[in-house]
Structure formats: C-alpha cells, structure tokens
Chains A and B, each alone.
Chain A
Amino acid sequence: MTDASGKEIQAKQKTEVGTPAEQTSPGAVFVPAVDIFESEKEITLLADLPGVKSKDLKIDLRDDVLTISGDITPLEGADEKDIIIEYEIGKYFRQFTLSEVINQNKIDARLEDGVLRLVLPKSDKAVPKKITVKAA
C-alpha cells in the first residue's frame, strides 16, 4: 500500500487519443492510465486496461517505440437499453519511446484483472552501432 490510505479515488473521464486520423476502424480510442518505474535491471509498466482480454492485447516493441493496443468486446447484450451512461467503451492505445536498450527476448507481460504488467529487462550490454565515415 502506498501513501494513499484513506484517500478517496476521484471519478475521471477517460482521455481520448489525440490523433483520431491514425485509426482506421471506427469507435472511440482511449489512453490508458499507466505507472512506469525503473530499477537497475528493468523497466516495469503497469497499465489499466479494463475489459481487455489477453488475446485482444497487442504489445509491440520496434525501434525503441513501445506500442500497447487493446481491443475490447462490449459486454452489453443486444436487447439492452441505455439508462445512464457515464463512461464510454472503446479501444486502448498508447505509445512510448524507450531511451534504454531492452533485451527483447526476456520481455514479460501479464494481464490480470484488467491490469497489464509489462517487465522490460534492460540489455546487459548495449551493442554499439558501428558508423563508418567514408572519405570523399
């Protein structure tokens, strides 16, 4: 437990992704809330993804860009009618640029109770890129 004991959670509306032009399929896309922390050996990311099943979650690390996207299947039945709608249902999407070199083979992702825990181990030795300068 952190220092939050006794504190009440504030109700917050979800934030929509700022660039809707990048999405090809219709529907709202939201930015999940995350915690990111770093120890000497690894970077850990926790993301709130309520309603996302593990088969609908995509995690991609390419050129230092970490992409998390989660599709959801609405739970509402076909003949249910809305009475009060306070939160919207939609996909989740968020990208991060990583400054550390990550050991891609040892990435560990777990999704439990709608929370993703992604452990990104830092690479033992960052392989330096060889740059050759050609003489004109």
Chain B
Amino acid sequence: MFIQRPFYFPEMTLRGAFTELDRMRQGLDRFMDGYGGRNFRLPTAGVFPLINLTDDKDGYFIRAELPGIKADELNISATGKTLSISGERKIPSEGKDVRYHRREREAGSFSRIISLPGDVNSDKVEANLKNGILTVRIPKAEKAKPKQITVK
C-alpha cells in the first residue's frame, strides 16, 4: 500500500536546513571579501592581544597593537617553536573629582601563547615596541629556510 507522507520535503530536514544556511553564509563571506581586500571577518583565537603573523624568507614577524603599554610592562619569552607574550595594561586613575563621559579603554592583564608554523632560532628573537605596536622578529632555523635550487 502506498503511504502518503504529506509533510516530507527533502529540503526541510534539519541537515538540509543547515546546508542551506552554510551556503548563505559562504555567499555572504564572499560578498564581504570583495569589500575591503583582506578577509572581512577575521578568524581569531579570541585572546588579547590580537596578532598578525607574517613571514619572509629569513624569519617570522609577530605584530600586536598594545597602545599605552610600556616596554618594561611586557614579558616576552620564546621556547622552541612557541612564543609567549604576557603583561598588564594599566590605566592610571585620574583623580576623584573627574566625571567620566565615556570609558571604552580597557585595563587588565593578558597572556598569550603563539605556536609558530616552522622551526626557528629562538636565541635571536628581537622585540620592538613603537607607537603602541609590538613587533617580534623570530629568525627561521637554517634548515627551515628555503633553498634555491638551480636547474641544470
């Protein structure tokens, strides 16, 4: 006997609904990509400070925006392929008789560990803090550097 299932639509199953949502999200992401050049919605670890990691043929660069932080309030250490950045951002009190209109800047402690994608020479790490931007340069290990191969 033929059983009629009046409420069965293949697109309306739970899985189908999510695939459809995914497709819409991807479409939106593609639209946003064209907006600013770089990816509009950036994947982050959600840990302060947010970092940008780049490399050239000799080393890696880690940059982070740390406005108002002095060099001696930062702790940077490198162990093997990981780099850890920690510190505390202090916002000094402005006295008792001031009234705040806006308070958007945050104070507090932070700590972050970054794993580098390749082998590095952790003895020669340089860190530089200028205009509120931290730049850490980590040289690549000799064996991790690209070798030019000449074709005979």
Contact for A49 among B39, B61, B67, B109, CB less than 8 A: B67
User: Would you call the interface of chain B mostly helix, strand, loop, or mixed?
Assistant: loop
| A37–B48 CB distance below 8 A | no
**Once bound together, how far apart are the Cα atoms of A34 and B103, in whole Å?**
7
| B101–A38 CB distance below 8 A | yes
Contact for B55 among A35, A48, A80, A88, CB less than 8 A: A80
Residues of A within 8 A of B135 (CB): 75
Contact for A10 among B95, B106, B117, CB less than 8 A: B106
Known: A11-B45, A34-B105; 13 extra A-B contacts, CB below 8 A, are: A7-B107, A8-B109, A9-B106, A9-B108, A35-B104, A38-B100, A46-B105, A48-B132, A80-B56, A82-B53, A85-B42, A85-B52, A88-B36
Task: Give chain A interface residues in 47-84, CB to chain B under 8 Å.
Answer: 48-53, 75-77, 79-84
Q: What 1/0 mask marks residues of chain B from 120 to 152 whose CB sits below 8 Å from any chain A CB?
A: 000000000101110100000000000000000
Residues of B within 8 A of A82 (CB): 52-54
**Once bound together, how far apart are the Cα atoms of A48 and B68, in whole Å?**
8
Q: What 1/0 mask marks residues of chain A from 24 to 46 whose CB sits below 8 Å from any chain B CB?
A: 00001000011111111000101
B6 at the binding interface (Cβ < 8 Å): no
A6 at the binding interface (Cβ < 8 Å): yes
Residues of B within 8 A of A126 (CB): none
User: Known contacts A7-B109, A11-B50; is A113 also within 8 Å of B67 by CB?
Assistant: yes
Residues of A within 8 A of B50 (CB): 11, 13, 86-87
| A4–B53 CB distance below 8 A | no
A-B contact count (CB 8 A): 160
Contact for A37 among B55, B98, B133, CB less than 8 A: B98
Give the shortest distance, in Å, between B100 (CB) and chain A (any CB): 5
| B56–A11 CB distance below 8 A | no
Give the shortest distance, in Å, between B55 (CB) and chain A (any CB): 6
Q: What 1/0 mask marks residues of chain B from 77 to 103 whose CB sits below 8 Å from any chain A CB?
A: 000000000000111111101111111
Question: What residue in chain A is nearest B117 (Cβ atoms)?
Answer: A83
A105 at the binding interface (Cβ < 8 Å): no
Pairs A-B, 10 closest by C-beta atoms: A114-B132, A114-B67, A50-B132, A50-B65, A4-B107, A7-B108, A86-B50, A33-B104, A84-B53, A48-B67
Contact for B68 among A1, A87, A114, CB less than 8 A: A114
User: Known contacts A9-B110, A84-B51; is A37 also within 8 Å of B100 by CB?
Assistant: yes
